[in-house]
Structures are given as C-alpha cells and as structure tokens.
Chain A
Amino acid sequence: MARRRLGLKISAGAVILFLYFPLAIIFLYAFTTQSSAFTFPPPGLTTRWIGVAAGNPQIWAALRLSLTVASVTTAIALVLGSLLAAAVYRTKFFGREAISFLVILPIALPGIVTGIALRSSIALLDVPFSMWTIVLGHATFTVVIVYNNVLARFRRLQGSLIEASMDLGASGWQTFRHILLPSLSTALLAGGLLAFALSFDEIIVTTFTAGQQETLPIWIFSSLFRPRARPVTNVVALAVVAVTALPILFAARLTRESGAPIAAGAPRGR
C-alpha cells in the first residue's frame, strides 16, 4: 500500500513536470545564442533577443492590437454576460434552458467551426476585416465565462438581502448599486480577468476574423515560418505567458476565496 502510494505520488509529480517542462524550455531558448537552431544544450546564453524584440515595431503594433481587442472584448463580455445571468436568475420564461445552451455553444463547438462560421458570414455580408470583426468573434466565446461566474454568484446570493433593501424603501437602482454590485464584484472581476486572458491568447478563431491584421498570437505563429532570429519568437511568447498567466492566477485566488469554482466557465480552450 505504502509503495503504491509512493508510486502514485511520483507519477503525479511527473505529470505536473510534463505540463510545465515545455514552458521552461521556451524560457531557456529565449536566451540562446543560436539564431536559427535549437540544439541542446544551448551553446551560449545572451539577452540580446529582448532588445531585438523591443526594437521591432511589428511586435509593438501586434501587442497594441491584442491589448485593445482583449480590453474591448472583456468589456462586452462583462456587460452581456452579467445581463444574461441576471435574466436567467430568478425570472422564469419560455426558452430559459435554451439560453444556457446558446451561451455554451461557442465554446462547445471546436474553435475552427466558430472561426469558419464567422468567416462565412463576413464573406456573405462583405464586411471589411477590422478590429471589430476580431472583437465580435472573441465576444461570442467569452460571454459564457462571465455568465457562468456571475450566475454562480447570483445563486449563492441571498434573495432576502435584495428584499430587505426593497422593503427599506430603496429604489431598484439603489438596490443594484449598493447591494447587488458589491456582492457581484469579485465574480465580475474573476470573469473579466479570465475573459481578458482568453481573448489575449486566442488564435484559432482570430485567424478567420482578422484578415491581414496581426494580433500577438498571430504574429508568433507566422514568425515560426521565418528562418531567422527565432529566439525573438520565444521572447514574445514569454510576454504572452506573463500577460495571460497573472490574471488567471489572480482569478483563481478570487474564486477560491469566494468558493465559486473557477472551472465554472472552463473554456474549450480554443
């Protein structure tokens, strides 16, 4: 029994190592001196690629676009997700079950389906590609994250609190401002952080809705097919990890303290 326990412990540790080992490799090869090969061990280490990345205006433009898209997407997801959650919570209406299905559909279907579907309507309606076509695509699959987080919070929220506020003569707006919003705040923050990270990292759907524009993940992907200065890709990749991992860690903390499961809106990932 004890031996089996130890065996399981070791293999569990091995799986965690396996999950994180590739990220360590990206880190290592952001500093290699080779510009077009990745031999192991690296022949030498240098920090010059950081400077090369920082001096590349394309990277800055891609970063700016990604940040804009992620911020606008997050704002839209926050508003639409919490409105939908508010509608589904406590009101019974025809088609309520259908809403939960509809909300989850964009993450339940493979990303490529969402992507090509949006691409099809862009083609049919002759919509020009812009930042907004990317944002619309991202909004479809981030709404569910805010929706799930806020709905979970609504369900744990005591209805009596709202009734008490009403009984004490507060208007609907006051109840919203002083009771509802404070109780929802951490759920909104967690949902928003997750939506931001997911949007910033997205590439599958974006590929179909971006046209010639380059978000940071699209820049990374296309840079894989350029033979020179490869470590620059790794430097940018590390930046993406930092921008997406920190909000998620923070969101995980928030949801753990409040008890709502962060996986409430587990993404199809892509």
Chain B
Amino acid sequence: MASVKTGATPLLRRLSSFFYRHPRVKLSLLLAPGLALLLGVYGGSLGALLLQSLYRLEEFTGLVVREPGFQSIGQLGERANLDIIVRTTVMAAAVTVGCAAIAFPLAYYMAKLASPRMRSLLYVLVLMPLWSSYLVRVISWKLILAKDGIFTWFVDRLGLGGALDFVLGAPVIGGPSISQSLFGMWIVFVYTWLPFMILPLEASLERVPDSLTEASEDLGGRPRATFRRVILPLALPGLIAGSIFTFSLTLGDFIIPTIIGNSTFFIGPVVLLQQGTAGNLPLAAAFSLVPIVIMTTYLLLAKRAGAFEAL
C-alpha cells in the first residue's frame, strides 16, 4: 500500500483527535442529520397524519375543523366506506395468491435447476422491474388491454373469445372490456408486484435441502405429494415474506385502480380524491390508517406463525 501522506491541515488533525477523545460527540454528530430527517420529518409527519385523522370536515363551510375527535375515523364504518376497505383487502389477497402461483415455477427453477451463471442472469432480470419503471410497466397494460389491443388480438387468434366474454359477463369481476374490469385490474396488480414475490420465494427455496426432496421421492412420494408435504411447508417463510410485499403494495396503490378497472373505489384512489378535489384531508388520513392497521396485524400474525425466525 502506498505510504500515507501526513499533510493534513492542523485544523483537520485537531478535529479528528477531538472526535477520537469524545466518541459520544462524534456519535451524536453522525446520528443527528439522519434522525432529523427520519424522526423529525418522517416521524413528525406520521404524527401529523394521526392528528389529521382526528380532525373533521365541516360540511357546510367545506373547511377542516381542527378539533380532535373520532368523526372522520367513524366515517370509515359507513356502508360505502366499509365496502371500499373490504374490496381492497380481497383484491390484495387475490393478488397475493396470483403472484405466488406465477412466481413459483421461476423461483423453483432459479433455486434448484439453473446453473450459477443462469441464476445470476435471471436474478438481474427479476430485479430490474422491481427497481425501475413502475409507472411505465403499469401504463403499458393500458395499451395491451385497450379496445382492439394486443390482448384481444391474441384471445381471438387463440379462439378464446368465448371464455373472455364469459369472464367479462361475470358479476363483480366483469365489465364492458377487460381494461374496465376488476379482472383486468387483478392481472395488472399481479404483473406489477410479481418480482416482489419471486425473490423471497427463491431465497427460501434455495434453503430447501435436496436430500429431503430426494428422500420423499425414494419413499415413493409422487411429485404432487413431495410438493405439498415437503417443498411447500419449507418454502412457506418465503411465501409469507413475499405476501407482505404484495399485500401491502396492493393496499396502498392508487395508480393501478385509477388507470385500469371500472369506477368502483379502492383505498388508494379514495385517499387521493379526498385529499385533493374533495378537500377532505381528515378523511383521507383516516383511510390511510387502514393499510397501517391491516399490515401491522398481518405482520404480527406472520411473526406468531414463526415466519420471521425461519427467514
């Protein structure tokens, strides 16, 4: 290693020996800026969110009354709002199931069959959409599912027009076209959060010992039995970790329900609408407490099921 020059200015040298003698001062200086942002700005904002949810909108004047109370939070219990909460939660659950089903083959292939080179290539390929181009990936579905778009073209070529009409004709999930149906919204959600399920699932499958699956096969377990009774239980921590992402992301998204789907409401768009055009920031704040409560419960349940210890 090249010799280190001792040409530091006296001030710098004095400063560094001061910090060396006073580790507490050094520590506080290291922590201060980060804590100012995370505790001050972010923590403070979470406090402000809680406070806002206790305010209420005066209906006649359209002004926010800054007196603490539970009126806005109480509004969540109204029929229409409760429907929104239930609908969003069911969608999040359905998306989680869809993601798990599609993620599994790729995760399994990466963990067990791919060569190391192939695995790292696939890893980057899955990682790219996880980190970037979220909005772009969502809006492309508007093109794919558009009227006379590529989706319909494929469905027609495959002769599945009847099946599509059947889905669209179904109550609740159907609609006038695929991009205006809850089924379409489900597809886009599953697509968008897929990488968040693949990676934790892959990590947990990697830890399933080959000897166990082999033992199961040697003992006469059919592939289905091996999958259900050996692989799936051992991959459960990864599935739960992935589901935390897919669930939480679906609960809090407003881009996808705004672009795809009919005009039925989900939590995300309602929060956006209430804080914006409706000018009812307290109700928007109250609504956003719902994902927090659901996710906290979910995390506690997952913890109780031992999902974190196995991770």
Interface residues in chain A, defined as those with a beta carbon under 8 Å from any beta carbon in chain B:
4-5, 8-9, 11-12, 15-16, 18-20, 22-23, 25-26, 29, 37-41, 76, 79-81, 83-84, 86-87, 91, 93, 99, 102-103, 105-106, 108-114, 116-121, 123-124, 136, 139-140, 143, 165, 168-174, 176, 178, 194, 197-198, 201, 203-204, 207-208, 217, 220-221, 224, 233-234, 237-238, 240-241, 244-245, 248-249, 252, 256, 262-263, 266-270
Contacts and interface: CB of A to CB of B under 8 A. Distances in A.
Interface of B: 4-6, 8, 12-13, 15-17, 19-20, 23, 27, 30-31, 33-35, 37-39, 41-49, 51-52, 102-103, 105-106, 108-110, 113-114, 120, 122, 124-137, 139-144, 146-150, 152-153, 191, 193-196, 198-199, 223, 245, 248-249, 251-255, 259, 267-268, 271-272, 275, 281, 284-285, 288, 291-292, 295
User: Which secondary structure dominates chain A's binding surface?
Assistant: helix
B128 A117 contact: no
A226 B238 CA distance: 42
A40 B106 CA distance: 29
B144 A174 contact: no
Contacts of B223: 4
Contacts of B131: 194, 197-198, 244, 248, 267, 269
Nearest to B148: A39
A22 B192 CA distance: 10
B139 A233 contact: yes
Contact of A79 (B13, B33, B129, B271): B33
Nearest to A124: B48
A171 B194 contact: no
Contact of B191 (A18, A109, A116, A269): A18
A77 to B, nearest CB: 10
A268 to B, nearest CB: 7
Contact of B148 (A37, A139, A178): A37
Given A22-B140, A113-B292, A240-B135, 6 more contacts: A41-B153, A81-B34, A140-B38, A173-B15, A201-B132, A269-B193
A26 B16 contact: no
Given A8-B108, A173-B15, A221-B135, A269 B49 contact: no
A22 B127 contact: no
Given A110-B248, A233-B139, A40 B149 contact: yes
Contacts of A37: 146-148
Contacts of B12: 171, 173
Pick the 9 closest A-B CB pairs, nearest first: A110-B252, A172-B16, A22-B140, A12-B109, A244-B132, A121-B48, A87-B30, A11-B105, A117-B45
Given A22-B141, A112-B254, A117 B34 contact: no
Contacts of B133: 23, 201, 237, 240-241, 244-245
Contacts of A262: 127
Given A86-B30, A143-B37, A173-B8, A270 B195 contact: no
Contacts of A119: 275, 281, 284
In the complex, which of the residues B4, B42, B52, B272 has the most CB atoms of chain A within 10 Å of its own CB atom?
B42
B106 A38 contact: no
8 contacts: A12-B122, A20-B125, A22-B191, A40-B153, A87-B31, A112-B268, A204-B252, A270-B253
A29 B143 contact: yes
Nearest to B2: A178
Contacts of A234: 143
B195 A19 contact: yes
A117 B291 CA distance: 13
A256 B117 CA distance: 12
A11 B255 contact: no
